[in-house]
């Protein structure tokens, strides 16, 4: 019954402009396995929106196994739904033989970061967060104003890592890349990077830092691409998708997936 609730489609309609209240309400419903969808998408007319319901029904994340067990443990520490978590898990496993480590910017309470660390024990997973909320909100971001998601700490992430029995994480506290990138070896390569930072400029700075350090065939995931309220990141990914050095895919779970191509 619990699993059925988590994976069914529920559209609950809310109005209102108070982002922090909306975040709180959304988080509460999310913990119960529901999602909140605005009653009207009209606020950001520069981006086309619709509720997307896939007709696919193969759901491998329901199988009992290592993913299911790990997801059950991280579920209370993530804002990311099971479909995106499953994709991160799969990519972390599939990229095991691609050279380089794993980088996540936008860790919050550690859910997705610790999940990738569990899936890829041979790699170091750098977990980068201000732990004081979202930064660099600008006019490109219609919803985010700054400081959202500040309700976490380094200790919360450490506790989750212990619960999952992962030892391959390094936590970097501060604005990335401005304050914390210098703590990473200058010549380090990455095979997988998960950018979940909510605003245009923050995501742009993270991408600009990591892209030259991505191995060929390595993958950068933008969590926020397909989501109402994250229009700054949607704009950024559409700009990046016009470049010739990547393949960009819109996974209808909301992710933008950029695969690094060899440059001529």
Ligand X SMILES: C[S@@+](CC[C@H](N)C(=O)[O-])C[C@H]1O[C@@H](n2cnc3c(N)ncnc32)[C@H](O)[C@@H]1O
Contacts to ligand X by CB under 6 A: 78-80, 105-108, 111-112, 128-130, 133-135, 149, 175-176, 196-198, 202
Which C-beta is closer to ligand X: that of 90 or that of 217?
A: 90
User: Smallest distance, Å, CB 164 to ligand X?
Assistant: 13
User: Smallest distance, Å, CB 112 to ligand X?
Assistant: 4
User: Smallest distance, Å, CB 102 to ligand X?
Assistant: 13
User: Smallest distance, Å, CB 109 to ligand X?
Assistant: 6
User: Smallest distance, Å, CB 179 to ligand X?
Assistant: 8
Which C-beta is closer to ligand X: that of 133 or that of 241?
A: 133
Check if the beta carbon of residue 38 is closer than 8 Å to that of residue 62.
Answer: no
Strand-pair partners of 11? 35
Which C-beta is closer to ligand X: that of 135 or that of 171?
A: 135
Which two structure tokens, joined as six digits, stand for 67? 């993913």
User: Smallest distance, Å, CB 199 to ligand X?
Assistant: 7
Which C-beta is closer to ligand X: that of 141 or that of 198?
A: 198
Position of minimal CB gap to ligand X: 106
Check if the beta carbon of residue 113 is closer than 8 Å to that of residue 83.
Answer: no
Strand bridging mode 35-38 / 11-14: parallel
Which C-beta is closer to ligand X: that of 78 or that of 234?
A: 78
Which C-beta is closer to ligand X: that of 217 or that of 251?
A: 251
DSSP string for residues in 114-176: HHHHHH-TTS-EEEEE-SS------TT-SS--S-TT----HHHHHHHHHHHT---EEEEESST
Residues 6+ apart with CB under 8 A from 248: 237, 240, 241, 256, 257, 258, 259
């Amino acid at each position: 019954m619990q699993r059925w609730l988590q994976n069914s489609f529920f559209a609950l309609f809310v109005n209102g402009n108070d982002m922090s209240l909306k975040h709180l309400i959304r988080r509460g419903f999310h913990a119960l396995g529901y999602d909140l969808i605005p009653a009207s998408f009209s606020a950001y007319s520069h981006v086309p929106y619709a509720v997307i319901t896939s007709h696919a029904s193969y759901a491998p994340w329901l199988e009992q196994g290592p993913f299911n067990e790990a997801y059950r443990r991280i579920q209370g520490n993530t804002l990311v739904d099971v479909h995106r978590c499953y994709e991160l898990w799969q990519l972390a496993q599939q990229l095991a033989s691609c050279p380089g480590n794993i980088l996540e910017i936008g860790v919050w309470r550690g859910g997705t970061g610790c999940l990738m660390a569990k899936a890829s024990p041979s790699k170091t997973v750098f977990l980068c967060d201000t732990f004081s909320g979202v930064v660099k909100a600008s006019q490109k971001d219609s919803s985010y104003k700054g400081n959202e998601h500040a309700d976490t700490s380094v200790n919360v992430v450490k506790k989750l890592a212990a619960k999952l029995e992962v030892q391959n994480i390094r936590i970097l506290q501060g604005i990335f890349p401005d304050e914390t990138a210098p703590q990473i070896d200058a010549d380090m390569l990455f095979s997988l990077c998960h950018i979940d930072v909510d605003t245009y400029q923050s995501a742009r700075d993270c991408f600009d830092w990591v892209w030259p350090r991505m191995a060929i065939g390595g993958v950068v995931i933008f969590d926020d691409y397909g989501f109402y309220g994250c229009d700054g990141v949607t704009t950024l990914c559409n700009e990046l998708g016009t470049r010739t050095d990547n393949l960009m895919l819109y996974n209808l779970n909301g992710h933008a997936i950029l695969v690094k191509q060899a440059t001529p």
